[in-house]
Structure 1
């Protein structure tokens, strides 16, 4: 009660913030008359003047009124659009590093130009992040005209560009692109060998369009650059044939649709073990024995593929026989994306299409951590208020609700609840037919391709002409949406989030004109057609308004209220009339999984007959409560993922910073020397424990280790017999011998080449150990939850063990670099250039609870030899009695030492694999 009273007296926090932003509107308006009187050349001269003031010490906030007014005047001349006052408020919200929530049709794309222009004056670059390549290209072209007029450069990052094209785009004052492209470029940059090969500049300011989709819906999905792992496609097919038979009996597995998990029951485990034995896959022991861990992984992924993922809902198989993921939030096909951890291969085996090879993680980051790299971040969307707590807690972003330019007059009806799905769809079809008869356009929202095609078939039976917009036809997306407001138009859409094209009542004259002249958007023929269609659209707009405006029909409630609001928000834009209604049934996923079990029985007691619906505000409130529960659970999942990813993120930042230091340094010989000393120190410490007597020293082991690790034949055992010798003297003698060997090699190879080789080896070994460390962290993360059974906090256990693994990685780095540089030999006539990584070309994406992978434009991973690349350091001749061709001369090779065969791999990954 007191909170209500306080809001009534003082206004809400949102109201107080809007009041502050409104206070600056008169100052902006004060420049309008003077700027309008300027010639184009004088208006364009505003940009260098504002930049000069910025360099003279004024802040961006000082420049805001004049910069915003300049952008508004330029927009009037170039785009034919003048920013409304509410759009000026939106621009201030973005500049202040907050999220602007603006209803659909309020012109968010135009609003962004204000904050983009102001912040681009610094010359440090502004990134505008969109959800797909189409929007990035369209917005950069349309808004780029405005920026170019004002003397700023504008670039766009889309899939398929070369590094040179990307570098040029990032060098622009303003860069448009998708969240995936920005993230993958960051990862790829941190796998480059030279600073001049990197494409991104230091981060400055980013505006994220559809911020809820990118920072909430996709937040738990890590971006992953991957390289090829071992091919196990035959095993996937064999396991699939077993699991396909197993799942016919539902008692063999438990499925939890809420958590999206599936597991074998006790009887299921016994059955699958028997079937695997008969198939010759389980050769000894039971399924959960340690040596069968790979088989368990394949069985679990195949079980998930058969029980939790449905064709035409979660994925489709295209005409080329490729399995393509469908984005659950936008309904688009995710070309080139793949589920991680073998799930995609399991689905390919299930659908009997070609199985693509698995991949191993080489670099990864979540969107949560990527976008927190920007010193200043802002966002815009039509629906953010429901996730305001998450934005504040994770990204430190406030949400500001911007009022509409014209009040919304759309009529939102209460939901209609039917007993069965078919009754619901029949009611939807009847309502669509009725609306079309009075020339009212209808937008029907569905949650999957399967359901959109079911409704399409029902409308065909009723003789209702319509268009279907889903992942199968997404290339026609803009054209279908643009004409969805024509009289009597019926459009079935899988999802309306982030479509980027407004539904205008009466239709879109520009697109109609383009279609009529074969796609051209200029010239006399186009201008004639445009004038004709503008007149036609004006007449049709009046017809549609009299019929009630756009009618939005939702065929199911989504887990998130935002998705429902995005669909509903398509109607009633800019003060247009409109209506919306949602149809539900007790068989809907949300009702079945999260609704009350007693609801069905209650409706029967109320005497609900077939074809009848129950309509009551209480139903709406109950559903909203269920949606809030799901949203809270999903937020907890994302928060938990972030806690784990933060552990890796701290390590990632440290590794990337150190790597950049190595790349920047002209000479890394001091680093190499320090690594050599530390390696020898730890080697001696292992053989000669502190305060141990000489007879307790493992001198034979130390002598052998020095020979095998460094290629040095030193009489360590003889030294130990000398009177008064201690471990310090032993260490110093080994260090001197190692330094002499290193100096001798440098003299033979040449100091300049040696410096180049040191840097090359250091960077490539760093990449190799980091890759192995990521794999170790993946394995640790998968099993760490089981620690809870031992009354230990999995997160604390993960932090502790991840720290230990990181230290182990650094030890491994020192040992490998030292060993390689002391044993390295150049192949004859082969001066070593700086290495170019051998990339794996392919692109990947996410398990909804896993990772989203791709290699970049060319890439992901190095070829096998950790210190290989474009030149492979070869042990081209016998070293100290070790013959690379004769394993009998290798003595006892430590598992982490370089393999004596000269491959450049560790012994345990080469000839010692089966030892």
Structure 2
């Protein structure tokens, strides 16, 4: 008997069904236009773009143009790619245009769907961004779909790391720009550190479609993007403290795997204290509880985390003498990304590789706040429904499930649960052997490189041929994934999120053709190439028929992931475009998720049931219990992201204020009015400090005021004599000071020329804002790390952070006024001869330092520019960039004798 809810859904359909149904009339209008667009010549089709642009400028809305624009893209795709978007793809494109997330199953052609709304939203000429998870997909999709845009007379740009600035600016000027999420965020931060408008790359945030939206806006959103610069080198401390970490036993350390934290117990505290004192690191009589020991305790904690919570070949690999992090969601290497707060250095010390200096934050932004800059944001993925609430709450994005082009024929079996990991993997090998024997291709999902390689050894022992896809074989991933659907193929993959290549039953004819043509030396567009294509297509069709007979793709999961989405992404590889297939997960009570989330009760129950060695329990109840554990983890991760966002929102308002002020300054031809306001306000501030309101004349600190004027402006003014005059009040003194400093400024404008001074004022303003903002970020980082302790005093840490961050921002604005005013007062323009002499001196000093360093360390590798750091959860550490070539604490190359940070590194 049906329940009331089920009956209602059956009669009226779900809200999702009703949304999809409402778009059918628009799809019919697009289909009705097909003959008209088929009749157009290539030139007439390309001419549609200027026509749409003219109509848009005349006031027609994009919604009104949608049927024609979609019909134009469909026709262009047919001509350029030989692909005709299905009706369900048009529906997906419609919801993307409306600013929703389209959940489309694997193999439904999301890459092609994106062209429809991207073209429509590129018509206003403000740029449309298509965001993907890695460089390979950016280049592939831009080259592939760029042919569709070219057929419509639009340009396509590609943004990837390491591009020259000119190339990057050109890419952002294109009608459509394909880019990685990280590079978009970093370009936004870099743009807001530029000195002039012509150096900026991005031209606003009009429209973006995020591919694999759950991976980018959910998984990677736990970590902010950070651009950083190096701090002083502390390699020795890391190496020294690393020696003690292996000496700590379980009774010395308290681990929390859920939070990825490690703390010393009382016994551990005493043990470490004794060892540090013996080694002379901790002075006699000083304990770890003393404030002076804060840094040592912090580094010991990071050493413990490195040894106990970060495993080689699971969380990172060592490659070319560097620690390269592994993304737990995709299994990919994350070159250039570093863990923050000294944790990456602790792992480098553990593995005995070169330790790079820690970094200080120069600029940062979260993915949440970056993507909320867009006027319209949309997303695509195969798995978004499980996080629909988060998408709505954080980004205001609805999720619409798009029906498949053909009904799904895949069988999803209940999980098989074994008591031990050994029994589980024996069961896995047996299941793979059975599928391989009957010719059924098998995709095996693992959660780490280590488990992939262990399973690979077991398959070798069982003489089952197979391919392994993980971070070590990152380069061949497209070929491995594309051919994973061939007869009897066995492919082991470490996480399948965001792979971007479909598994086609019988193999991928295009990749097989390019490999065969290269091997035989056959050039494209030749009769031999055409014959080879026909031969390979026939072979693939024959092989596909055999694979379909064997049951389609068999997806076998060896463990449940923390997130149901990752499991669903693995499942979704089977049953593409109505193909048959089956999926099955093998679990054990020793799996991380089962172990951390209460497998004890299940273990006792299975023991009572009298399970034999090698037996598995298969029951819907077990699968439901696993899903409950996963939803607990997902809820905890959502809280982490929400908490990160709450704190970043405080900084985001300040970031927007600073960045918009910078932009205003760069756009202005003349900033003398801003500088003058700052100068006058600074005079107001110092007068108020030394001559408080309503104070008697004998309470005035005129000597102190005169001294501040002397040090700030280099002016010797008779402030005390002014104060002694009959009837003079604080307002008179303020006016005389303003007149004096304005006269000083006017002299400089006359001496150096108005144009020169305008340029100097702009540079001083920008440099002072940048330096003040960098210092402010460091202070906020430090505040963020200790504010949690306010909770012990029954005060809300977030409210405390908001209040103190606001006060700090006010202090920043006050200090900016003072710094700009003092620097403008001290400005002296060097003559051409003085500039050349100074540059020569700096070059000579730098050369001498380099020679000295090479002589001291003849075999040491040249120090690399420290990449980025992030203070974040290891699950998605953020990359960073730094451009400092001279250490902050090294002598300044100008020969002043001061440290670089106090001289030319000051601004």
Task: Output the TM-score relative to the length of structure 2.
Answer: 0.93
Displacement of 1:102 in angstroms is 0.4
Q: Which residue number in structure 2 is paired with residue 356 of structure 1?
A: 356
- Identify if the C-alpha distance between structure 1 residues 733 and 296 changes in structure 2 by more than 3 Å, giving closer, same or farther: farther
Q: Which residue number in structure 2 is paired with residue 189 of structure 1?
A: 191
Contact 1:203 1:375 in 2 (8 A): yes
Correspondence list, 1:809-888, <5 A: 809-829=812-832, 843-844=867-868, 846=870, 848-849=872-873, 852-855=877-880, 859-860=882-883
Q: Which residue number in structure 2 is paired with residue 505 of structure 1?
A: 505
Q: Which residue number in structure 1 is paired with residue 308 of structure 2?
A: 307
Q: Which residue number in structure 1 is paired with residue 91 of structure 2?
A: 89
1:256 aligns with 2:256: yes
Q: Which residue number in structure 2 is paired with residue 216 of structure 1?
A: 218
1:659 aligns with 2:662: yes
Q: Which residue number in structure 2 is paired with residue 795 of structure 1?
A: 798
Q: Which residue number in structure 2 is paired with residue 142 of structure 1?
A: 144
- Cα distance in 1, alignment partners of residues 513 and 388 from structure 2: 42
- Identify if the C-alpha distance between structure 1 residues 37 and 827 changes in structure 2 by more than 3 Å, giving closer, same or farther: closer
Contact 1:843 1:853 in 2 (8 A): no
1:360-379 deviation line (CA, Å, top 9, x unaligned): 11111010010000000000
1:754-792 deviation line (CA, Å, top 9, x unaligned): 221111111101100000000000001111111111111
1:34-53 deviation line (CA, Å, top 9, x unaligned): 22222222222222222222
Contact 2:97 2:378 in 1 (8 A): yes
- Identify if the C-alpha distance between structure 1 residues 845 and 295 changes in structure 2 by more than 3 Å, giving closer, same or farther: closer
- Cα distance in 2, alignment partners of residues 698 and 105 from structure 1: 78
Unaligned runs of 5+ in 1: 875-883, 888-898, 910-915
- Cα distance in 2, alignment partners of residues 612 and 661 from structure 1: 70
Q: Which residue number in structure 2 is paired with residue 780 of structure 1?
A: 783
Contact 2:870 2:880 in 1 (8 A): no
1:25 aligns with 2:27: yes
Q: Which residue number in structure 2 is paired with residue 578 of structure 1?
A: 581
Contact 1:189 1:200 in 2 (8 A): yes
SS at match of 2:518: coil
- Cα distance in 2, alignment partners of residues 831 and 86 from structure 1: 70
1:59 aligns with 2:86: no
- Cα distance in 2, alignment partners of residues 257 and 572 from structure 1: 36
Displacement of 1:739 in angstroms is 1.9
Displacement of 1:434 in angstroms is 1.2
Displacement of 1:16 in angstroms is 1.3
- Cα distance in 2, alignment partners of residues 41 and 753 from structure 1: 51
Aligned length in residues: 874
1:732 aligns with 2:756: no
Correspondence list, 1:192-211, <5 A: 192-211=194-213
1:35 aligns with 2:59: no
Structure 1 range deviating more: 462-471 or 63-72: 63-72
Structure 1 range deviating more: 556-565 or 295-304: 295-304
Structure 1 range deviating more: 512-521 or 768-777: 512-521
- Identify if the C-alpha distance between structure 1 residues 814 and 268 changes in structure 2 by more than 3 Å, giving closer, same or farther: same
1:414-445 deviation line (CA, Å, top 9, x unaligned): 10000111110111011111111111110000
- Identify if the C-alpha distance between structure 1 residues 444 and 324 changes in structure 2 by more than 3 Å, giving closer, same or farther: same
- Cα distance in 1, alignment partners of residues 530 and 82 from structure 2: 16
1:550-596 deviation line (CA, Å, top 9, x unaligned): 10000000011000000000001011111110000000010001134
SS at match of 1:160: coil
- Identify if the C-alpha distance between structure 1 residues 742 and 45 changes in structure 2 by more than 3 Å, giving closer, same or farther: closer
Displacement of 1:847 in angstroms is 5.5
1:80 aligns with 2:76: no
- Cα distance in 2, alignment partners of residues 900 and 563 from structure 1: 48
- Cα distance in 1, alignment partners of residues 901 and 262 from structure 2: 46
Q: Which residue number in structure 2 is paired with residue 559 of structure 1?
A: 562
- Cα distance in 2, alignment partners of residues 861 and 793 from structure 1: 38
- Cα distance in 2, alignment partners of residues 185 and 862 from structure 1: 20
- Identify if the C-alpha distance between structure 1 residues 854 and 708 changes in structure 2 by more than 3 Å, giving closer, same or farther: farther
Correspondence list, 1:520-531, <5 A: 522-524=524-526, 525-531=528-534
- Cα distance in 2, alignment partners of residues 717 and 283 from structure 1: 52
Q: Which residue number in structure 2 is paired with residue 325 of structure 1?
A: 325
Q: Which residue number in structure 2 is paired with residue 722 of structure 1?
A: 725
Correspondence list, 1:525-674, <5 A: 525-674=528-677
- Cα distance in 2, alignment partners of residues 52 and 752 from structure 1: 41
Q: Which residue number in structure 2 is paired with residue 766 of structure 1?
A: 769
Q: Which residue number in structure 1 is paired with residue 389 of structure 2?
A: 389
- Cα distance in 2, alignment partners of residues 739 and 905 from structure 1: 29
SS at match of 1:565: helix
- Identify if the C-alpha distance between structure 1 residues 117 and 504 changes in structure 2 by more than 3 Å, giving closer, same or farther: same
SS at match of 1:23: helix
Q: Which residue number in structure 2 is paired with residue 912 of structure 1?
A: none
Q: Which residue number in structure 1 is paired with residue 745 of structure 2?
A: 742
- Cα distance in 1, alignment partners of residues 672 and 892 from structure 2: 20
Contact 2:872 2:878 in 1 (8 A): no
Contact 1:348 1:355 in 2 (8 A): yes
Q: Which residue number in structure 2 is paired with residue 164 of structure 1?
A: 166
Correspondence list, 1:658-697, <5 A: 658-697=661-700
Contact 1:842 1:854 in 2 (8 A): no
Structure 1 range deviating more: 580-589 or 14-23: 14-23
Displacement of 1:143 in angstroms is 0.5
Contact 1:514 1:526 in 2 (8 A): no
- Identify if the C-alpha distance between structure 1 residues 607 and 847 changes in structure 2 by more than 3 Å, giving closer, same or farther: farther
Q: Which residue number in structure 2 is paired with residue 316 of structure 1?
A: 317
Displacement of 1:326 in angstroms is 0.2
Structure 1 range deviating more: 367-376 or 263-272: 263-272
Q: Which of 752, 756, 771 pairs up with 2:759? A: 756
Structure 1 range deviating more: 649-658 or 621-630: 621-630
SS at match of 2:428: helix
SS at match of 1:224: strand
Structure 1 range deviating more: 551-560 or 593-602: 593-602
- Identify if the C-alpha distance between structure 1 residues 708 and 292 changes in structure 2 by more than 3 Å, giving closer, same or farther: farther
Contact 2:228 2:869 in 1 (8 A): no
Q: Which residue number in structure 2 is paired with residue 103 of structure 1?
A: 105
Q: Which residue number in structure 2 is paired with residue 879 of structure 1?
A: none
- Identify if the C-alpha distance between structure 1 residues 709 and 798 changes in structure 2 by more than 3 Å, giving closer, same or farther: same
Displacement of 1:2 in angstroms is 4.8
SS at match of 1:464: coil
- Cα distance in 2, alignment partners of residues 330 and 855 from structure 1: 20
Structure 1 range deviating more: 206-215 or 591-600: 591-600
- Cα distance in 2, alignment partners of residues 733 and 521 from structure 1: 84
Q: Which residue number in structure 2 is paired with residue 294 of structure 1?
A: 295
Structure 1 range deviating more: 766-775 or 355-364: 355-364
Contact 2:189 2:364 in 1 (8 A): yes
Displacement of 1:842 in angstroms is 5.1
- Cα distance in 1, alignment partners of residues 900 and 217 from structure 2: 49
SS at match of 2:243: helix
Correspondence list, 1:257-272, <5 A: 257-272=257-272
- Cα distance in 1, alignment partners of residues 186 and 900 from structure 2: 37
Displacement of 1:338 in angstroms is 1.0
- Cα distance in 2, alignment partners of residues 854 and 437 from structure 1: 45
- Identify if the C-alpha distance between structure 1 residues 49 and 742 changes in structure 2 by more than 3 Å, giving closer, same or farther: closer
- Cα distance in 2, alignment partners of residues 518 and 677 from structure 1: 73
Q: Which residue number in structure 1 is paired with residue 17 of structure 2?
A: 15
- Cα distance in 1, alignment partners of residues 704 and 582 from structure 2: 82
- Identify if the C-alpha distance between structure 1 residues 900 and 181 changes in structure 2 by more than 3 Å, giving closer, same or farther: closer
